[in-house]
């Protein structure tokens, strides 16, 4: 018997092949979109929060005397503040506000993220070549971060010393804010 060709078999094979290719295409599109959202927009959100944080830290905050209007040990007083580290004029970094920000971060790290206006983990340091070094937040070293964004700016302290402020926003989750 020679090879026989049945049109029903051919139609059935084409339907199965087309259905399999359609299913594969839909799965690929879904995975590709999820990957783009998680890694494309996730990094964009981190960069946006880091940029906002750096701008906010270089202002006096809201209210401008936020560090005297709160109690570092009472989280309920932090609700209506925005932490900024500059003095009242906004050009010089206040060492007292910096120390108060350290106290807030040490008291309630999660609450301090709200006061800083960020959703990711953070680590902020102000250091100078003259051994001035203050940092607060969670250092990403040893915490297996999956993504890190870093920004640095030169600052002048209220004692006249020049320093560098570096902020790191990081996460060790799959770009879940929180």
19-44 confidence digits (pLDDT tens): 999 888 888 877 665 555 455 557 78
- Extract the tokens encoding 90: 């906004």
Of 125 and 178, the structure prediction assigns the larger pLDDT to 125
User: Can you give the pTM of this predicted structure?
Assistant: 0.72
Residue-level pLDDT at 176: 43
Q: List the alpha helices (DSSP H) in the chain.
A: 7-35, 42-57, 66-69, 95-107, 109-116
Give the HSE-up count for residue 156: Cα atoms under 13 Å, Cβ half-sphere: 8
Residue-level pLDDT at 178: 41
Residue-level pLDDT at 3: 58
Please name the residues in contact with 58: beta carbons below 8 A apart, sequence gap of 6 or more: 84, 85, 86, 90, 153, 155, 165
Please name the residues in contact with 128: beta carbons below 8 A apart, sequence gap of 6 or more: 157, 161, 162, 163, 164
How far apart, in whole angstroms, are the C-alpha atoms of residue 127 and residue 104? 19
């Amino acid at each position: 018997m020679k090879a026989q060709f049945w049109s029903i078999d051919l139609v059935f094979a084409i339907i199965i092949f087309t259905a399999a290719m359609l299913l594969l295409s839909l799965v690929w599109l879904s995975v590709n979109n999820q990957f783009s959202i998680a890694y494309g927009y996730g990094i964009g959100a981190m960069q946006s929060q880091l940029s906002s944080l750096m701008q906010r830290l270089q202002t006096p905050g809201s209210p401008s005397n936020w560090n005297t209007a709160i109690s570092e040990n009472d989280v309920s007083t932090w609700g209506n503040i925005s932490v900024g580290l500059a003095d009242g004029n906004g050009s010089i970094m206040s060492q007292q506000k910096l120390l108060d920000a350290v106290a807030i971060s040490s008291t309630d790290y999660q609450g301090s993220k709200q006061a800083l206006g960020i959703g990711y983990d953070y680590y902020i340091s102000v250091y100078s070549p003259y051994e001035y070094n203050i940092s607060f937040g969670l250092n990403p070293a040893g915490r297996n971060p999956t993504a890190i964004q870093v920004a640095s700016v030169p600052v002048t302290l209220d004692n006249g010393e020049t320093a560098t402020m570096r902020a790191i926003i990081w996460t060790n989750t799959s770009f879940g804010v929180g």
